[in-house]
Chains A and B, each alone.
Chain A
Amino acid sequence: MRGPRTDGPWRRGDDDRLIGGVAAGFAARTGLDVTVVRVGLVLLTLITVGYAAVGYVLAWLLLPVAGSDASIAHRAKSDRRGIGLSAAVGTLLIVLAAMASAVGAGWVSAVEWPVVICTAGLVLIWRNGTAGEQETMRHLAEPLVGLTAGGRRPRLVWRLAIAFVLFLAGTGILVSGHESVRMLAPLGGGVLVLAAIALVLGPWWLGIARDLVAERRARIRAEERADMAARVHDSVLQTLAMIQRRADQPQQVIQLARAQERELRSWLFDGRAPGSMDTEMTLSAGVRQIQQEVEAQHGMTVEAVTVGDCELDEDLGALLEAAREATVNAAKWSGADVVSLFAEVEPDEVSLFVRDRGKGFDPEAVPADRKGLAESIHARMTRRGGEASIRSAVGQGTEVSLTMPRVAGKRQSSRS
């Protein structure tokens, strides 16, 4: 989600969220780096004394997560208990803040409203968020809950002790701030309190960040596995099912098995997804595709051999179309059970031969429908500077020869 802008409605990020995914969503929307957005958010929160955090929580509530249309607020509307609970928590916090300012910690009132609104919002999110969001929040809240749960004792005790001292010192300075060094005291006190908090919670935050990375990786792996399973299901398992059903028709079973084998092989070794048509195909891939299609559609074996290979351009695309036409033609009319397809890429031309050992025909006395096809092959080739010739005799099969000159600039790409 880094870099490129996405259009469409504004959504919260899902895969790359740290808390609510608001920053990730904003980054995806504006094309900014997500880290920049996050740092900016934190700074903004400090400058506005917490009001930016309110904006964050509201965005979390109101923006649907990527790939969905319903926001949390939408779901929260029908959650009466949640609304009641968040109102109660909010009121409790207001009372606490009032008590704090009565005791003398007047600075509390500065962050009073942001804290109240954020907490109330978080309660609603907690109750109405997705499972993934609840998991994240549980993660984030874990240090507070886990304080009582033990762990590696000695280090925990040390950390807590130091943090306690810092916290006492900090609050001491803050509370007694009105006596001596008026200007500096709140600052020093604040720093000490922050240090205390960082000391207590720091390791957990680090752990969380690490967990999130690991979790993301695991999710990607799971997605890959699911993708693989789906592919295998769509191709191999379907074919196996079809083979079981057609066990009494050996010809069809052979065809299915061959087509599947080829598809699987091109997926495993050439990285071509089943059923996908590459726009940047090579000649040999194109020949393979003709082979596959004709075998599947006409129930005959196509023996394909290619020598050398090169990228397709428009001329060679026309050559392949003509070859497909010729192959289909042979499948339909020749009566043979094998068609041979041979393509050779040479530095200055590509030749392709389609041959069958079927009944053949007398080129002088061609029935009109076959003549039409022959001419369409011919026209296709000559239009692009190629040549087509057909050799056939009754009882001796047919061979269509196609040659297409190669464009000079592309000679280098020949693999042969």
Chain B
Amino acid sequence: MSAPNGHVPTVVIVDDHGLFRSGVRSELGDRVNVVGEAEDVEPAISLISRILPDVVLLDVHLPGGGGQLVVSALKTSHPEVRFLALSASDAPEDVIACIRAGARGYVTKTISGADLVDAVRRVAAGDAVFSPRLAGFVLDAFASLPSEAAGAGAGAGAGGAAGGRPSFDPELDQLTTREREVLRLIARGYTYKEIAKEFTISARTVETHVSSVLRKLQLSTRHQLTRWATERRLI
């Protein structure tokens, strides 16, 4: 969405399938600048810390462990490198693990070339990228909160946070009504622009909501989030 301000983002592709890497490379074309490829956790870490690309396209499944290992290894030393998780499996636990490690978004491997370029640019600009599926995951994960069983989250999440729950932080452990609505539309296949039009807000505001959801997803201490992901297994 937000303008790439003339700068072509540099990209490193991390995936253990050579065929997939070359496929992505040709799909991205010259709209982004692919500066390197790696096929496993260790080589990826050394390559990325050497060339410091704008965006890393990261497969969540790597032979040497999950993609989240790459993210967590580089997050503190190189916070300027942004990660976009790619997955074929859609296994929630992998995706959630990657996002919680610090990835800025998640897209499915079946995404079209144009959409992928768009996602890379948005991640490069510091925005969050949610696929419909990830939006569905988040809605599902945050819906399983007991304090919200009462109804469609009226009161913008400000209403009495569950008493007695030890580490419940309404700021982080709950979505606001608007965030929930935005996620619903993403899950329904709307683009940010369409969502903005729907709610008569600016695309920038939609972006802010999504980024805030991403932050909650990464920082929430709710152990249910992880447990939920493992329970859901494969969709």
Are A342 and B149 touching (Cβ within 8 A)?
no
B189 neighbours in A (Cβ, 8 Å) = 303, 338, 340, 342, 355, 357
Does A75 belong to the interface (CB within 8 Å)?
A: no
Tell me how many residues of A have a C-beta within 8 Å of chain B. 23
Closest to B190 in A: A355
Which of B6-14, B39-47, B60-68, B139-147 contacts its partner?
B139-147
A303 neighbours in B (Cβ, 8 Å) = 132-133, 189
- B: residues with CB less than 8 A from A are 110, 132-133, 135-136, 139-140, 143-144, 149, 151-152, 184, 187-190, 233-235
Does A143 belong to the interface (CB within 8 Å)?
A: no
Are B233 and A269 touching (Cβ within 8 A)?
yes
Instruction: Using A306-B235, A340-B132, A355-B190 as known contacts, list a sample of 13 further A-B pairs with CB atoms less than 8 Å apart, ordered by residue number in A.
Output: A269-B234, A284-B235, A301-B110, A305-B132, A305-B133, A305-B135, A305-B136, A338-B189, A340-B188, A340-B189, A342-B184, A353-B188, A416-B144
Known: A308-B143, A355-B188. A346 touches B152 (CB 8 A): yes
A399 neighbours in B (Cβ, 8 Å) = 188
Closest to A268 in B: B234
Q: How far is the CA of A232 from the CA of B56 in the complex (A)?
A: 37
* B110, B139, B151, B233: the one within 8 Å of A307 (CB): B139
Minimum Cβ distance to chain B for residue A300 (Å): 13
Q: How far is the CA of A303 from the CA of B108 in the complex (A)?
A: 11
Does A344 belong to the interface (CB within 8 Å)?
A: yes
What 0/1 readout, one digit per residue, does chain A (240-265) give for beta carbons within 8 Å of chain B? 00000000000000000010000001
Does A82 belong to the interface (CB within 8 Å)?
A: no
A308 neighbours in B (Cβ, 8 Å) = 140, 143
Minimum Cβ distance to chain B for residue A193 (Å): 64
5 tightest Cβ-Cβ pairs between the two chains A and B: A340-B189, A305-B136, A416-B143, A342-B188, A307-B139
Q: How far is the CA of A284 from the CA of B137 in the complex (A)?
A: 13
Are A416 and B140 touching (Cβ within 8 A)?
yes
List 17 A–B pairs whose Cβ atoms lie within 8 Å, in order of A's numbering: A265-B234, A303-B189, A305-B132, A305-B133, A306-B136, A306-B235, A307-B136, A307-B139, A307-B187, A308-B140, A338-B189, A342-B136, A342-B184, A344-B184, A347-B149, A347-B151, A353-B188
- A: residues with CB less than 8 A from B are 258, 265, 269, 284, 301, 303, 305-308, 338, 340, 342, 344, 346-348, 353, 355, 357, 399, 415-416
Q: How far is the CA of A342 from the CA of B139 in the complex (A)?
A: 12
Closest to B152 in A: A346
Minimum Cβ distance to chain A for residue B106 (Å): 13
Q: How far is the CA of A230 from the CA of B184 in the complex (A)?
A: 41
B139 neighbours in A (Cβ, 8 Å) = 307, 344
Minimum Cβ distance to chain A for residue B34 (Å): 23
A301 neighbours in B (Cβ, 8 Å) = 110
* B110, B132, B151: the one within 8 Å of A342 (CB): B132
Q: How far is the CA of A348 from the CA of B152 in the complex (A)?
A: 10
Q: How far is the CA of A110 from the CA of B133 in the complex (A)?
A: 82
B152 neighbours in A (Cβ, 8 Å) = 346
Known: A269-B233, A269-B234, A342-B136. A305 touches B143 (CB 8 A): no
Minimum Cβ distance to chain A for residue B19 (Å): 13
Minimum Cβ distance to chain A for residue B154 (Å): 13
Interface centre among B110, B152, B189, B233 (most CB of A within 10 A): B189
Minimum Cβ distance to chain B for residue A259 (Å): 13
A355 neighbours in B (Cβ, 8 Å) = 188-190
B135 neighbours in A (Cβ, 8 Å) = 305
Q: How far is the CA of A308 from the CA of B136 in the complex (A)?
A: 9
Closest to A269 in B: B234
Interface centre among B133, B143, B151, B234 (most CB of A within 10 A): B143
Minimum Cβ distance to chain B for residue A311 (Å): 17
Minimum Cβ distance to chain A for residue B105 (Å): 16
Minimum Cβ distance to chain A for residue B181 (Å): 12
